Structure 1
Amino acid sequence: MRLDKYLKTARILKRREAAKELALQSRIWINDRIAKPSSEVHIGDQIRIRFGYRLLEIQVMDIQKQVSKQNAQTLFEVIKEEKIDEED
């Protein structure tokens, strides 16, 4: 599944367009490589997202085309979430 679609389906970001913008700004990495909106996401991948003053690192646990709001969090596991300084 495409990165932008996965982030929306898993409800990490509200809109696919937001995921696309972050990726085009080189603020999303998959397995320590800068990702494009069309990058393929696979089970076991680690995704790191920097938005605002927040850094979120997750591991992909499952991939589904549609998922309910209640079950969206089963698609990933949060590895690390932290606030970052402005200079980073």
Structure 2
Amino acid sequence: MRLDKYLKISRLIKRRTVANEACDAGRVLANGKPARASYEVKAGDVLEIHLGERVLKAEVLSVAEYAKKEQASDLYRLLEE
């Protein structure tokens, strides 16, 4: 699954266009390297999202095409900041 779509479905970023812009600006890292919106996300990847002063670090647990609001947080695990 594309990174921008994963960020939206997992609700780490609210909209896909915002996720796309964050990737283009280099504010999203996958396994320590800047990731493009087209990066293929797989279980085990560590994503780092720079949101202003805050850095969100999450490990991908699973990839799903759809996730309800209650299930979205089951797709990843937040790591220590």
TM-score w.r.t. length of structure 2: 0.97
Q: Who is 1:4 aligned against?
A: 4
Q: Deviations over 1:11-38 (max 9, x none)?
A: 1111000001111011100001100011
Q: CA RMSD in A?
A: 0.7
Following TM superposition, by how much is the alpha carbon of 1:52 offset from its aligned partner in structure 2, in angstroms?
A: 1.3
Return the index of the structure with the highest Cα Rg: 1
Runs of 4+ in 1 over 3 A off after TM superposition: none
Q: Who is 1:40 aligned against?
A: 40
- C-alpha separation between the residues in 2 aligned to 1:71 and 1:22? 24
User: What amino acid sits opposite 1:63 in the alignment?
Assistant: V
Following TM superposition, by how much is the alpha carbon of 1:49 offset from its aligned partner in structure 2, in angstroms?
A: 0.4
Q: How many residues align?
A: 81
Q: Who is 1:25 aligned against?
A: 25
Q: How much identity, in percent, do the aligned residues show?
A: 38
User: What amino acid sits opposite 2:21 in the alignment?
Assistant: E
Matches within 5 A, 1:1-88: 1-81=1-81
Following TM superposition, by how much is the alpha carbon of 1:80 offset from its aligned partner in structure 2, in angstroms?
A: 2.5
Structure 2 unaligned residues grouped into runs of 5+: none
